[in-house]
Amino acid sequence: MEKEELLKKLLQEIDQATKLSSQELLKSSELNDLEDGTRALLDTIRDTFEDIQNRKIEKALSGTHWKIQPRVGSYASPEEVIKRLSPLKNLLEELLEAETGIQPINIPSIDTSRSSSLRESIKDAQLLFNTNGAPNAVDRFHTLLHSFLADQCLKAKIQHDSEASINILLKLLKENHPILVNLQNTQPEAVEILRGMSNTLDKLSTLRNNKSLAHPNELLPLDEANFVIDSVNASLKYLSSKLGT
C-alpha cells in the first residue's frame, strides 16, 4: 500500500473508533488492537520519511506503553479513546501533510442520527478536502452546510421549502428556533455576528456555482478557498454547539 493511502487509512480507522466510542460501541480490545497496529505500521514506514518526521515517529514510539488487560466484553470510554489516540492522530495528520502538502481539516462534531445525507456530506467534504485540497472541496462544504441547516430545521419542526437556500434556512432558524430567538435577549452581539455571517454564507452559493466543481469552472485560489471553508467550519462549530450536537 502506498504511504499516503496507508496514512489516510489509519486516520479513518481512528476517526471511526472515536465515533464508535461516543456511542459506547467500541470494545476495549478493539482500542488496544488499533493502537498497537497503528504503532506497528508507523514503525515499518518510519525510515521512508525525512529526518525530522522520522525522529518524531521514533519519539512517539519510544518508551513502554502500559495497558491494562481489558475485561472481556468491556467497552472503551470516549475519554480513554481521546487520551490514547489523539497523539497518534496528530502525528498521522502531520505526516500526511508532509507527504501531500495538504493540511487536513477537522469538521466539528455534528449529530447525524436523523440524516444519512448529512452523514454522507460530512464524509465527502472531509475526504475531498484531505485528498485534493480546499479549492476542490468548496462545493462539498456548501452541501454540508446546507444539509446541516436543513437537518436543524427538521429537528426543530421548522417548515421550509425543499429548495430553500442556505441563507433562507439560516434566516428561518434565527427567527423560529427557540435557542436562537432567546439569544436576541441574552447575547445580542452574537446574533449580530450571526446576521453578518448570513450575508457571508449567502455568497457561498455564488461561489459554488461559479468557482467550484459543481460546474465546469475555474476554481477558487487556495487562500480564498481555505477562507471560505474556514468560514463554513466556524459557523458549523458555533451552531452545532449552540443547538446541540
The rounded mean pLDDT for the chain is 85
Residue for grid cell 495538504 = 102
The confidence score (pLDDT) of residue 200 equals: 74
Least confident window among 66-70, 110-114, 154-158, 234-238: 66-70
Which tens digits make up the pLDDT trace of 148-167? 999 999 999 999 888 898 88
Contacts of 219 (CB under 8 A, 6+ apart): 135, 136, 138, 211, 212, 213, 225
- Indicate the range of 4-18, 55-69, 140-154, 207-221 predicted with least confidence: 207-221
**111, pLDDT greater than 70:** yes
Give how far the C-alpha of residue 72 lies from the chain's centroid of Cα atoms, to the nearest Å.
32
The pLDDT of residue 15 is 84
Of 24-28, 172-176, 197-201, least confident by mean pLDDT is: 197-201
- Residue for cell digits 444519512? 116
pLDDT band, residue 215 (cuts 50/70/90) = low
Residue 98 has pLDDT above 80, yes or no: yes
What is the predicted pLDDT for the residue at 176?
93
The residues that bridge with 75 in the sheet, in sequence order, are 27
DSSP 75: B
How far is Cα 90 from Cα 79, in angstroms, rounded to an integer?
16
- Determine the average pLDDT of the residues in 71-88: 88
Q: At residue 123, does pLDDT exceed 90?
A: no
Residue with cell string 497518534: 88
Q: pLDDT category, 214, cuts 50, 70, 90? A: low
For residue 199, how many other CB atoms are within 10 A of its CB? 9
Over residues 85-111, the mean pLDDT reads 84
- Angle at Cα 213 formed by Cα 14 and Cα 123, nearest 5°? 20
Asked if pLDDT for residue 208 goes beyond 70, the answer is no
